[in-house]
Every structure is written in structure tokens, then in C-alpha cells.
Amino acid sequence: MTRFAWLQSRTQTLGVYAMLGALAIAAAITGVHLSNLYHSHILHCTIGCDLATTQFLHSDTFLRNSFDVLSLVTPALLGIFWGAPLLAREFEAGTYRLAWTQSVTRSRWLTTKLATGAGAVATIAGILTLVITWWYRALDKVGSNPYDLFERRDIAPIGYAVFAFAAGALIGVVIRRVVPTMAATLGVYVGARIVTTRLIRPHLLPPLHKTLSMLNADGFGFVSSDGSPITLVAKASAGSNTWTQSTQILTSTGHVASSAQLTAFVQQYCPAIANPPAPGAPGNGPVKAAPGVADAFHACRDEAARVFHLAVTYQPASRYWALQWLETGIFVALAALAIGGCYWWIARRAR
């Protein structure tokens, strides 16, 4: 049965591997160059380092954009073009009646098709991510927080691809038509990714807490929306290569500052900002400090640092791999559920 499964998927397997090969060659050639550039210009840089770094980060734009798009869409494509037709086409064309009446049990047929398919998809996603992660290693060292690239590097894309494949297979068993299955697979995949990113990943590990001075805030400013009194906002990072999940402004007693307290503070200590001398058109959003109020802005900020401080919740850099494994594990577990669903649904439909 394995030989037949291979025969059925041979063309697409070879096609994808050919593309991967071309990509790997391009990555190898330019990747070595990037690495050399990093060692010669960045690592031991002494003069004009900012400019050198900026230039370095802008090298190979085309390949970088291609890799960014590829790493984002490949799992979805594998689900749509490999997982979705795997079983849906057998039902749509009626060939399941041919396959299931050979001397191979239905469960063996299904196991072989799913196992070889999932294996191929995981390998493809794995190789692609490996190539991309390797190619980017120098650029990532200079320019990025690994948490920003969490979904495009290392092992998470393998989990995504396996899940997209299994979801496509299951939806194909239920819908039994190729094109609607492809559409539904895309929808389910995107939905699962959004739900995981927004609702699940932030709660996988209890975050660490840190208090920072207002002076360390990355962003400090004033906001007024819908004509309400001007209030104070601030945002901070827990440090490089960490994932800052939330920033709150605390009072000296350690409680979260209410908007009334913040408004009162602005009114009392930052009159130049609360009542700007030359109000432009009253509108929403941040109020830009005019040149004349720059001093007032700094005074206000220093005062705020005395009254308030910042509490951030974050995941440290050391948890990156734990979160990668958890994310991958979640998607592999979902894939296992979907594969179980294929067996269940096929047995149920015969009844």
C-alpha cells in the first residue's frame, strides 16, 4: 500500500522537492554571503555601526520578502493542495470504491495515505523552515526579537503544516468534494491560527512580572479620545528578546492607576499639555507637542516618573523554546484529533 500511496503522490512530491532544492541552493549561496557580511562589517564593527547595520538589514530584499511570504503561506498551501484533495478526490471521483475493494483493509489504506502524506508535509515544512531559519540567522541576530518571528522560524511551522494537512484530510472526508474542501481548509486553518495566537499562546505559561520606571518607557504620551480629557499613556518592553504581554501604569501604592487619576495628574502637573496654547482642530488620537511645549513634556514625564511606575508582564527569552514546543505540540495534537476524526467519520458513513 505504501508503494501505491507513493505512486499517487509522486508527481507532487517530486515537484515540491525540486522547488525546495532550488530554494536551498539560492539560500546557500546568498546565505554564505550574508554571513560573511555579518562577520566583516557588523560583528567587529567600530565606526559607523548604525549605518552598517541599517545597510546590512536591507540586503537581499527580494529573497527576504520571498522567504517571509513562503514561511507564512507554506503550511496553508500544504493543507489546501496536499491535505484537502488527499481523500476528497477519492470520494469525488468515486475511486474510493476501487481502492476499498482491493485486498487492503480500509484502515490500512487510510493509515498509509495519512502517514505518508503527513510525513511528506512535515518534512517539506521542516526543510523549508530549516533553510529559512539558517539563511536568516545573521539578520535575526542583528535586527529582530525572536518572538516577533515566532510563527516563521524553528519548529512551529512544522506543527502548522501537519495540522493544515490533517484538517484538509478530515474536511475532505466530510465534504467529499475537492474545491469546497480546499476553501474550508483555508478557513479552518486561518481560524485555528488566529485563535491560538490571540487566545491560547498568551496563556500557555504564566508570565513573569517586572516593574519599571516611567523613564524606561519605550512610549510615553498623552491621549484624548472623543473630546474626553487628556490622559497619559505609556508602553514599555521587559527587555530585548522578551515577549512583553502587557504594560500597566501603577500608582505609588501599587494599584492600577484609574483614568480619573491619570487625567487629574495631567491637569495638575502638565498644564501646558492639558490646555495646549494653540489648539489645532480638536480631534482624536495623540496630541503632538508643539516645539514650545517640549520642555513641558519632559517636565511632565519626570513628574510622572515620581508619581507612577510601570508594571509589565512578559515571557523571558529563555522560554522561547518551551513556547515553540508547546505551540507545535498543540497543532500536532489537533492534527492527531483530525486524523482520528477521519477514521471515525469513514466508519460512521458506512453505517
Partner 1 sequence: MTTAMETAGVGKRYGRRWALTDCTLTIPAGRVVGLVGPNGAGKTTLLHLAVGLLEPSAGSISVLGERPNAGADQLARIGFLAQDSPTYSRLTVEQHLRMGEWLNPNWDAAFAADRVRDLGLDLGQRTGTLSGGQRAQLALTLAVAKRPQLLVLDEPVAALDPLARREFLQTLMEVVAVDGVSVVLSSHLIADLERVCDYLVVLVAGRVAIDGDVDELLAGHHLLTGPRRDHVALPGNTAVIEASHTEKQTSLLVRTETPILDPSWTVTPITLDDLVLAYMRQARDRDRDATSEPASRLAVAR
Binding interface with partner 1 (CB under 8 A): 1, 3-4, 7-8, 11, 93-95, 97-98, 100-106, 108, 350-351
Residue 254's Cβ-count burial label (10 Å; 0-12, 13-18, 19+) is exposed
Task: Find the shortest distance in angstroms from Cβ 22 to partner 1.
Answer: 24
The residues, any chain, with a CB within 8 Å of residue 191's CB and separated by 6 or more, are none
Task: Find the shortest distance in angstroms from Cβ 85 to partner 1.
Answer: 11
The answer to whether 113 touches 86, Cβ cutoff 8 Å, is yes
Task: Find the shortest distance in angstroms from Cβ 2 to partner 1.
Answer: 9
The answer to whether 9 touches 124, Cβ cutoff 8 Å, is no
Task: Find the shortest distance in angstroms from Cβ 161 to partner 1.
Answer: 24
Task: Find the shortest distance in angstroms from Cβ 351 to partner 1.
Answer: 5
Rounded CA gap, 218 and 220, in Å? 7
Nearer to partner 1, 96 or 308 (CB): 96
Rounded CA gap, 334 and 301, in Å? 48
Nearer to partner 1, 106 or 193 (CB): 106
The residues, any chain, with a CB within 8 Å of residue 273's CB and separated by 6 or more, are 222, 230, 266, 287, 289, 293, 296, 297, 300
The answer to whether 161 touches 329, Cβ cutoff 8 Å, is no
Nearer to partner 1, 11 or 61 (CB): 11
Nearer to partner 1, 9 or 263 (CB): 9
The answer to whether 47 touches 155, Cβ cutoff 8 Å, is no
Residue 255's Cβ-count burial label (10 Å; 0-12, 13-18, 19+) is exposed
Nearer to partner 1, 11 or 253 (CB): 11
Task: Find the shortest distance in angstroms from Cβ 346 to partner 1.
Answer: 11
Task: Find the shortest distance in angstroms from Cβ 11 to partner 1.
Answer: 8
Nearer to partner 1, 94 or 279 (CB): 94
Nearer to partner 1, 46 or 101 (CB): 101
Task: Find the shortest distance in angstroms from Cβ 51 to partner 1.
Answer: 56
Closest by Cα among 254, 243, 252, 234 to 208: 243
The answer to whether 248 touches 311, Cβ cutoff 8 Å, is yes
Residue with cell 492639558: 274
Displacement of CA 111 from its chain's centroid (Å):
31
DSSP 145: -
Nearer to partner 1, 94 or 227 (CB): 94
